[in-house]
Amino acid sequence: MKILLTGVTGQVGGALVEPLSQIGQVICADRATVDLASPDSIRQTMRRIRPTLVINPAAYTAVDRAESETELALQINGIAPGVLAEECAQLGARLVHFSTDYVFDGSKPTPYVESDPPAPSSAYGRSKLAGEQAITGSSCRHLIFRTSWVYSLRGANFLRTMFRLAGEREELRVVDDQRGAPTTAQAIALACTALLPAWLADPRTDRDGIYHLSCGGSTTWCGFAGRIVAHLDQIAKALDQPCPATRPRVTPILTEDYPTPAKRPHNSVLDNSKLLRSFEVNLANWEEAFSQLLTTH
């Protein structure tokens, strides 16, 4: 099986390389191989490589910048997935794509299920929703995984930002009224790879579609920061960096005290039970996945 994997310099793409190589030949497509901002680049690469499976974690992920680079975000997150789906359909290849909890507006008080109506409140969320719709509206065999609050030891993410700030500040003021599930790229990659053989062997389309795929449990950004600050020494070891000399105090604040260009949902906890029902795959609780990342890096 020839697997074309995008976003290999990113968190999820990077974490997928090794596990995917257990199930097929992985062709790592960075931005130079396939530029998702260019439909021509996508078509040319797809026709040259002729993959049997395309896995697309690449995305425009700068949530705040997307408010001013709306067109580019839409091109990469909204248009490109549709072009990939069209090309996959022509080749008879399947597509695995990633989406976000930010397709929801956060007004639901309980975890979101796949059938809840999306209502993104940011340009990023709207661009990702457009990508989902382009794929589900195509005739391509597909899976779309909505995940949340992704972090790893590489790339730009909350864990690394808090670790850096812990070395610079005595106090970290962190939003405490946005709830979600921090999810490691590692957990996403392992879950996704675990269910692929069963899906690829299934000739029926019943299990195609959208799935929520995030770590279990939930917290706020402030709760997550508290956990990070409590484990600075382990994080330093995992990142191979010096540990901050002192532990900053973590102070909860409200969203309105930390204005950002993009509006974020107050609740974006995802209900993962469809994934468990359909594929018998369940991700660890977020605290457990956090510990696993620090011990198994």
Nearest distance from C-beta of residue 143 to ligand NAP, angstroms = 13
Q: Specify the amino acid at residue 58.
A: A
Q: Is 139 in the site for ligand NAP (CB under 6 A)?
A: no
CA 101 vs CA 46, 91, 149, 181, 272: distances in Å: 28, 30, 8, 10, 12
**Amino acid identity, position 74:** L
CA distance 215 to 269: 10
Active site residue 124: yes
Of 44-52, 58-66, 160-168, 170-178, the segment contacting ligand NAP by CB under 6 A is 58-66
Contacts to ligand NAP from residues 81-120, by CB under 6 A: 98, 100-101
- In contact, 112 and 125? CB cutoff 8 Å: no
Residues found in the chain: 297
Q: Is 211 in the site for ligand NAP (CB under 6 A)?
A: no
The least CB distance from residue 57 to ligand NAP, in Å, is 4
CB 98 within 8 A of CB 147: yes
Which residue reads 């790893």 in tokens? 152
Is position 42 an interface residue for ligand NAP (rule: CB under 6 A)? no
Query: Quick one: which segment of 27-35, 106-114, 227-235, 248-256 binds ligand NAP (CB under 6 A)?
Result: 27-35
Catalytic site residue from 60, 102, 124, 151 = 124
> Taking CB under 6 A as the criterion, which residues in 140-179 touch ligand NAP?
147-150, 155
From 58, 129, 140, 222, residue interacting with ligand NAP (rule: CB under 6 A): 58
| Span from 6-14, 16-24, 103-111, 133-141 in contact with ligand NAP (CB under 6 A) | 6-14
E-state strands within the chain: 2-6, 25-29, 53-56, 94-100, 142-147, 150-151, 171-175, 179-180, 183-184, 209-212, 219-220, 249-253
Minimum distance from residue 38 beta carbon to ligand NAP (Å) = 8
Of 3, 59, 166, 192, the one binding ligand NAP (CB under 6 A) is: 59
Q: Is 77 helix (H, G, I), strand (E, B) or coil?
A: helix
- Interaction site with ligand NAP (CB under 6 A): 6-7, 9-13, 31, 34-37, 57-61, 76, 98, 100-101, 128, 147-150, 155, 185
